[in-house]
Amino acid sequence: MVPLTFHYSWSKLAERERLTVMNEFAVNGAKHLVLGDNLLKMMGQDYKLAAVLREQTAQAGVDFVDAHAPFRDFGDLFIPDERDHREMIARQKLNLLLVSEMGVDTCTFHVGSKYYPDHSLDEHREALFRSLDELLPLAEELAITICLENLVRPLSTADDLISYMKKYASPHLGVCLDVGHANLKEQGVLHPDSDVIPAWEIAGLQVCWEKNIPERLQPYIVNCHVHDNGGVGDDHDLPGTGTIDWKRTVPILLNAPRIKSIQSEVLCARRNTPIRTVAENIHALFGYTPEL
C-alpha cells in the first residue's frame, strides 16, 4: 500500500490545538501527515519546534511522510537574482536538513512562480539548474528525493519537467504530480477565464496547453498532490467535486514505478471541510480501509 499522507494548514492553528488536530486525523484512520511549507517555515523561526512536533506526532500515533518546501519569495528554485538566489539556497539547504531531521525522505519544490521581470526566461532556467546543482548533492547525502511539481506556469510544464529529469537522471530527483494543476493545464483551454492564462501573460507568453500530463510524467512520479477543481481555478477541493477523471488518474498514481507516497492537498480551511470528510474521501479513492 502506498502511504497516504495529509496536508493541513498548521500555521493557522493555535499551538495548543495542534495535538488535538493530530488526534483528529488519527481517529479517522490517517497515519501520516505532510511536513508542509508552513511547518518548515515555523521550524525556521522556532529552533526547538522539531522536537515538539516529534513528541506530538508520537503522542497522536502519526508520523510525517512527505514534505513540501516553502515556495515563492526566497523559496522558488529559479530565482535569477544573485543575492536572492543565495538566500534561497541557504534557506532550502536548511529545509532539507529539517526534513531529514523529521525522518522524511521526499520533499516537493516549486521550480518557481514569481518571475523577475529584469531577467529572461533562460536566466530563470539557468538559475534552476544552479539550484539543483547545489541541492542535489545534499539531498543525496540525506537520502531525500527532491520532487519538482508541475505548475501552471512556464518552466514547470510536463515537457519542462521531463527535460529536467533527463538532464539530471538522478534517483534523488523526481516529479511531484499535482493532479489539480494538471487538470487546469489540460482543461483550461475550454475556459476563457482560466487562471492559467494570466500566469503565462506575466511572462509575456501564450499558454502552452498540454494533454496527457499524468501519463507522460508517470515514469518520474515520486509523490503527488491530490485535490480537485473545475478546470478554471486552483480550488484544492475534495476529489469528486470537480472535473478530474479519477478513474484515469488513480491507476496512473498507484502504478507509477517510483511512487513513494500519495498526498491529500485538499485545503480543509478554505472550504471548512472536516478532517473526517477528507480522510474518508481519500481513503475511499485509493481503496484503503483504515482500522478505526
Partner 1 sequence: MVPLTFHHSWNKIEARDRLTAMREFAVNGAKHLVLGDMLLKMIGGDYKLAAVLRDETRQAGLDFLDAHAPFRGFGDLFIPDERDWRQMIARQKLNLLLVHELGVDTCTFHVGSEFYYEYTLDRHREALYRSLDELLPLAEKLNVVICLENGLTPLNSAEALVAYMRKYDSPYLGICFDTGHANRKELGGRFPDGAVPESWKKFGLTIRWEKNIAETLRPYIVNCHVHDNYGERDDHNLPGCGNIDWKRILNVLRNAPRLRNIQSEVLTARRNIPIRTVVESVLRLFGELPGKE
Nearer to partner 1, 110 or 185 (CB): 110
Torsions phi, psi for 104 (to 5 deg): -100, 140
Q: Kindly state the smallest distance separating residue 103's Cβ from partner 1, in Å.
A: 12
Asked whether position 292 contacts partner 1 by CB under 8 A, the answer is: no
Q: Kindly state the smallest distance separating residue 120's Cβ from partner 1, in Å.
A: 24
With CB under 8 A as the contact rule, which of the stretches 81-89, 115-123, 241-249, 270-278 interacts with partner 1?
Answer: 81-89
Q: What is the rounded CA–CA span in Å between residue 136 and residue 77?
A: 12
With CB under 8 A as the contact rule, which of the stretches 88-96, 166-174, 209-217, 239-247 interacts with partner 1?
Answer: 88-96
Q: Kindly state the smallest distance separating residue 15's Cβ from partner 1, in Å.
A: 14
22, three cell numbers: 493530530
Asked whether position 289 contacts partner 1 by CB under 8 A, the answer is: no
Q: Which of 10, 30, 69, 70 binds partner 1 (CB under 8 A)?
A: 70
Q: Kindly state the smallest distance separating residue 97's Cβ from partner 1, in Å.
A: 5
Asked whether position 73 contacts partner 1 by CB under 8 A, the answer is: yes
Q: Kindly state the smallest distance separating residue 198's Cβ from partner 1, in Å.
A: 22
Q: What is the rounded CA–CA span in Å between residue 247 and residue 54?
A: 36
With CB under 8 A as the contact rule, which of the stretches 19-27, 87-95, 123-131, 193-201 interacts with partner 1?
Answer: 87-95
User: Is there a contact between 281 and 18 (Cβ–Cβ < 8 Å)?
Assistant: no
Nearer to partner 1, 48 or 247 (CB): 48
Q: Which of 16, 83, 166, 247 binds partner 1 (CB under 8 A)?
A: 83
Asked whether position 94 contacts partner 1 by CB under 8 A, the answer is: yes
Q: Kindly state the smallest distance separating residue 42's Cβ from partner 1, in Å.
A: 6
By C-alpha distance, which of 236, 244, 241, 242 is closest to 269? 236
Q: Which of 31, 41, 119, 276 binds partner 1 (CB under 8 A)?
A: 41
Asked whether position 48 contacts partner 1 by CB under 8 A, the answer is: yes
Q: Which of 15, 17, 55, 87 binds partner 1 (CB under 8 A)?
A: 87
Asked whether position 130 contacts partner 1 by CB under 8 A, the answer is: no
Asked whether position 74 contacts partner 1 by CB under 8 A, the answer is: yes
**Site residues for partner 1 per CB under 8 A:** 41-48, 70, 72-75, 83, 86-87, 90-91, 93-94, 97-98, 101
